[in-house]
Amino acid sequence: MVCPSISNGSPRKLPVRLFKGKARAALVVLALLIGIPAFAQVNPLPPEKAFRFSARALSPQAVEARFAIADGYYLYRDKIHFAVEPPEVGLPVPALPAGKIKVDEFFGKMETYRGSLVISLPLQASPGQRVVIQAESQGCADIGICYPPNIQRVTVALPAAGALAGPAVEATKKNWLD
């Protein structure tokens, strides 16, 4: 850049390094502003929020179990198991829907679920009975954090014969930290 000289009236060049220095400083500031979110501390959800479990009675012989899986998280298909109390209520092994194949760095090739998972649990219970559905599950976050097996429990009142299905009930927290 050419600029008139104040002292003798002849043009002189401004130092190029002045502009390079300012440009470099601006780039450093811009890089810091853009890079700050990348270095922000990641706070993963607790498992009961990442994998919300609820259930509702459809009939004395069926309960709908549901996992609401948070964005950025997934459950492993073969790590989902159910139990029921009282023990005299039968709970055959439920049919889980097919999942999406994921090559996992920890477990290899696995079927996983994202978003929402609905499972029909067949029961051998009496109308009007109260049962506790226990769901054990395990999943991970996309950021590379995997959770230990997590147990959640829901008490469901089965409808009397001929009654309508009940509302969904959220699970109570019961995991390895309890």
Please answer whether residues 126 and 102 qualify as being in contact, where contact means their C-beta atoms are separated by less than 8 angstroms.
no
Say how far apart CA 51 and CA 70 lie, in whole Å: 7
pLDDT of residue 42: 79
Domains of the chain plus CATH, in order, are 2-39 (no CATH), 47-174 (2.60.40.1250)
**Do residues 152 and 173 lie in contact, with contact meaning Cβ atoms separated by under 8 Å?**
yes
Beta carbons of 131 and 62 less than 8 angstroms apart: no
29 phi/psi in degrees, rounded to 5: -60, -45
Predicted pLDDT at 38: 46
65-121 pLDDT tens trace: 999 999 999 999 999 999 999 988 988 989 999 999 999 777 789 999 999 999 999
- Backbone dihedral angles phi then psi of residue 102, each to the nearest 5 degrees: -135, 135
Q: 84 with 134: CB under 8 angstroms?
A: yes
Answer whether the bond into residue 86 is a cis peptide, omega within 30°: yes
State pTM to two decimals.
Answer: 0.68
Per-residue pLDDT of 11-46, as tens digits, reads: 555 555 555 556 555 544 444 445 444 444 479 999
- pLDDT of 178 > 50? The answer is no
| CA distance linking residue 4 with residue 44, whole number of Å | 60
| 146-169 tens-digit pLDDT | 999 999 999 999 998 765 555 555
